[in-house]
Amino acid sequence: MSEGLKIELTRRYRFAASHRLHSEHLTNDENERFYGKCNNPYGHGHNYVVEVSVSGDVDPATGMIANLADLDGFVEREVIEAFDYRNLNEEVPAFRERVPTTENLCMEIFSRLRQFPKARLERIRIEETGNNSFEYAGE
């Protein structure tokens, strides 16, 4: 990237998924206390909004840091296809041993998208509800 010039592109994506917040490392009482109604044995769902922010040099020929079609296709393959209309606990291998909190979901999505070849991944922001959003920018 050029010295001193940093342009970021943020693109929004949506998917719906269900999960149950429950840790095998806690007792049933502790799970109920920590996760409350989110510990419902039948799970619950969210309509997630994911913001993907990337940065890079502006291509002099296109005037863009990344082709939106390239980014959209990458996010579709790595995130939407993997999570949309899925039970995160049961259908996503990354959450078979890890509680599918939105914090962990942020880190998982960041890990999946960090290999985008056309620009540098800056951060992932996930809106879980109108009151809760989470952001992760890597280590």
CATH no., domain 7-136: 3.30.479.10
What is the distance of C-alpha 63 from the center of its chain? 27
- Mean pLDDT for the chain? 95
- Give 6's pLDDT tier (boundaries 50, 70, 90): confident
**Strand residue runs (E) in the chain:** 7-19, 44-56, 86-87, 120-127, 133-136
pLDDT tens digits, one per residue of 65-101: 999 999 999 999 999 999 999 999 999 999 999 999 9
Buried b vs exposed e over 52-79: b needs ≥16 C-beta within 10 Å? bbbbbeeeeeeeebbeeeebeebbeebb
What global pTM score does this model have?
0.93
33-45 tens-digit pLDDT: 999 999 999 999 9
Higher pLDDT, 63 or 3: 63
